[in-house]
Structure 1
Amino acid sequence: MIVIEHQPKRVEVTVYAEFTLADYKEFESVVNDAIRFEGPVDLLFDLREMADFTLDVAWEDIVFARAHANDFSRIAVLTDSQWVAWSAWLSQIFVRAEMRIFAEETEARAWLAEDAGAEGEAV
């Protein structure tokens, strides 16, 4: 199960229990709409409550990342799992966004806010 929040220039996703292909398709739909109307967006993935993900999700993530290599500014991943952190770093091969792994939500949000503040100053 996932919960998705869309804010200006940011999509936040929290995954609970198993991350399924249906969940991933819902995420793709929200992100595609955000990119279409806002341009590159930041992502905040909270995977601390994720118990597992299906193989089709892993494959879909690779396909999606390759199709959207330039559509993300920053990607923050919240996790306590070394395996999930390693998987996130591996997926960075396909996207040009800056990606960081965080254990603390406040640090992840602060890092994403830094980028948003810099963009506001540049305009």
Structure 2
Amino acid sequence: MITIEQTPILLNIAVLGEFTLADFKQFEEHALYMLKSPGTVNLLFDLRDMISYTVDVAWEEIKFFNREHLHDFSKIAVITEDEWITWQTWLSRMFVDADICVFTDYEEAEIWAAAA
């Protein structure tokens, strides 16, 4: 399950439990809507309460960020304490033209991601 909050430049996504394909499609719908507006779009992924994700989500993430929207996001903040997710986030920096940063503190991540 996910929750989504949206401001003019920030899409804030929190994952609770398992991150499913339906959840990813919901995120994608919001992101595509925001990308239609002029200006910067930043993402904040709060993954502290994510337990797991399905394989189809991983594939959709690769397609969405690496193929279709390589240059569309300015900043991507990821909040996690999980070493595996941190490693995956740093690895994706090679494939996405965005400033990506991992945080353990929500407030720090939000301040960084909300700055234009």
Q: How many percent of aligned residue pairs carry the same amino acid?
A: 47
Unaligned 5+ segments in structure 2 are none
TM-score using structure 2 length? 0.93
Which structure has the larger Rg?
Answer: 1
- Displacement of 1:72: 0.4
TM-score using structure 1 length? 0.88
Equivalent residue, structure 1, for 2:49: 49
Match runs of 1:31-70 below 5 Å: 31-66=31-66, 67-70=68-71
The structure with the greater share of residues assigned to helix is 1
* 3-state SS of 2:71 partner: coil
* 3-state SS of 1:108 partner: helix
- Cα distance in 2 for residues equivalent to 1:12 and 1:63: 20
- Cα distance in 1 for residues equivalent to 2:28 and 2:39: 15
- For this pair of structures, how many residues does the alignment match? 115
For residue 71 of structure 2, what is the amino acid of its counterpart? N
- Cα distance in 2 for residues equivalent to 1:12 and 1:39: 17
* 3-state SS of 1:46 partner: strand
* 3-state SS of 1:38 partner: coil
User: After TM superposition, where is structure 1 displaced by more than 6 Å over at least 4 residues in a row?
Assistant: none
